[in-house]
Amino acid sequence: MNGKTPLGVALIARKYNIPVIGIAGTLGEGYRELYNEGFQSIFSIVQGPSDLQFCLDNASRLIKETTEQIFRLMPCAANHL
């Protein structure tokens, strides 16, 4: 939350009732506080124990897989996967 750009986006979006979904490497302690700041939901790209090098080497794939899972929650978007 410390001055990060996604928080700024969520604060602006909240003014216009636009939901914001966050995607992060991991969900640190206190991430639930972001729900009070405008985030609808927040997802980690790491699905289990992983070392930093694995995450760095596979970041693109992990982000794509997490994004696909998020879109599968949305009926109109899931039809286009």
Instruction: Give per-residue pLDDT as tens, 24-61.
Output: 988 888 899 999 989 999 999 998 888 899 989 999 99
**10 CB-contact burial (10 Å; exposed 0-12 / middle 13-18 / buried 19+):** buried
Q: Are the CB atoms for 56 and 79 separated by under 8 Å?
A: no
- The mean per-residue pLDDT over the stretch 12-19 comes to 93
pTM value is: 0.77
81: pLDDT strictly greater than 60: no
CB 52 within 8 A of CB 35: no
User: What type of residue is 70?
Assistant: I
**What single DSSP character describes residue 60?**
H
